[in-house]
Amino acid sequence: MKISFIGTGTMATAMIKSIIDAGIFVPQDIMGSFHREKKAQEVKEALHINTTTSNTEAVKFGDIVVLSVKPQIFESVANEVKDYIRDTQLIISIMAGIDVETLQRNLLHKKVVRCMPNTPAQIRQGMTVWTATKEVEDSEKDVVKQILTSMGSEMYVENEVYVDMATALSGTGPAYVFLFLESLVNAGVHLGFSRRDAMELVYKTTLGSVLFAMQSGKHTAELRDMVTSPGGTTADALYELEKGGFRTVLEKAVYSAYKRTLYLKEINKKKGG
């Protein structure tokens, strides 16, 4: 089995590294298409995969074709490659805001998987939510699961709406976490820690807290209460967060990202229509 990547940016490169490291594909069975010859040569030398500047050549090469181009150029790429897609090929999209219907209509192809990965996939700690059309066979779903698991964790959903919701939660989620980390580090610097020491304290506290929450089996409210003594420092800090609308602002931000996801999806539908 061979796999091709159309658009070999950061996320696709992370996927390529992961599937090679996991032994799912060998470099000789992987091809990536690039816009620039220089970048193609750099990746070829680094990962020893096949490279090309021709999207049609990439489609002809793979039994599985991963679409990872920018959503705004998907329509032109689809027009370029649709006549070369074979009925037996599996198309995997990791593009944001392009739904299954738009993929099928523009590619003239039914066997489609839509994924929403996130950036921690670059260190094999990602979370990917995905769905597949009814034409995708169980054996092919197993291969997709292997590919996605090589980048971290995966969650299969029957209803595509959950992929849209995941875009706002897990897909965009790292940005929320990074902003939280940045704010907490800045608070540490304000207290008098060096930035390096503040970063170590914040990063390790966050990592430990997440692992504790995952392994304890307790609700996060219960874990929070374990740290909060009546009249203590934690209670005072949490009071300020609640007074500042921490929960409300975060929930509004996630819902706003979800609405934007739906809006962009409709725009892409109209473009492809």
CATH number at residue 196: 1.10.3730.10
Find the CATH number of the domain harbouring 151.
3.40.50.720
Whether 37 and 66 map to the same domain: the answer is yes
Residue 266 placed within a domain: no
pLDDT of residue 29: 98
Whether 145 and 195 map to the same domain: the answer is no
The encoded tokens of residue 20 equal: 């090679």
Residue 164 placed within a domain: no
Residue 166 placed within a domain: no
The domain boundary, picked from 103, 129, 158, lies at: 158
Domain around 132 = 3-158
Residue 218 placed within a domain: yes
pLDDT of residue 273: 58
Task: Look at residue 211 and give its three-state secondary structure.
Answer: helix
pLDDT of residue 267: 87
Whether 209 has a binding-site annotation, put simply, is no
Tens-level pLDDT at each residue, the chain (273 residues): 999 999 988 999 999 999 999 999 999 999 999 988 998 999 999 999 999 999 999 999 999 999 999 999 999 999 999 999 999 999 999 999 899 999 999 999 999 999 999 999 999 999 999 999 999 999 999 999 999 999 999 999 999 999 999 999 999 999 999 999 999 999 999 999 999 999 999 999 999 999 999 999 999 999 999 999 999 999 999 999 999 999 999 999 999 999 999 998 888 877 755
Report CA-CA distances (Å) from 272 to 32, 77, 143. Answer: 25, 11, 29
CA–CA separation, 5 and 57 (whole Å): 11
Whether 33 and 149 map to the same domain: the answer is yes
The domain boundary, picked from 128, 158, 188, lies at: 158
Whether 146 and 30 map to the same domain: the answer is yes
Whether 52 and 151 map to the same domain: the answer is yes
Task: Using alpha carbons, select from 18, 16, 17, 22 the residue that is nearest to residue 3.
Answer: 16
Report CA-CA distances (Å) from 89 to 83, 98, 118, 170, 224. Answer: 13, 19, 25, 28, 49
Alpha-helix residue ranges (DSSP H) falling in the chain: 10-21, 37-47, 55-61, 74-81, 100-107, 138-149, 161-166, 173-191, 195-216, 220-227, 233-243, 246-272
Whether 55 has a binding-site annotation, put simply, is yes
Residue 273 placed within a domain: no
Question: Positive or negative CA dihedral for 81, 82, 84, 89?
Answer: positive
* Entry pTM: 0.92
Whether 223 and 246 map to the same domain: the answer is yes
Residue 106 placed within a domain: yes
Whether 33 has a binding-site annotation, put simply, is yes
Whether 11 has a binding-site annotation, put simply, is yes
The domain boundary, picked from 114, 134, 158, lies at: 158
Whether 30 contacts 3, CB under 8 Å: yes
Domain count for the chain = 2
pLDDT of residue 49: 97
Backbone angles phi, psi at 201, to 5 degrees: -60, -45
Residue 103 placed within a domain: yes
Whether 138 and 95 map to the same domain: the answer is yes
Whether 7 has a binding-site annotation, put simply, is yes
Whether 131 has a binding-site annotation, put simply, is no
Question: Positive or negative CA dihedral for 251, 253, 254, 255?
Answer: positive
Whether 188 and 64 map to the same domain: the answer is no
Whether 217 has a binding-site annotation, put simply, is no
- Residue pointed to by tokens 């690039």: 34
pLDDT of residue 272: 58
Residue 272 placed within a domain: no
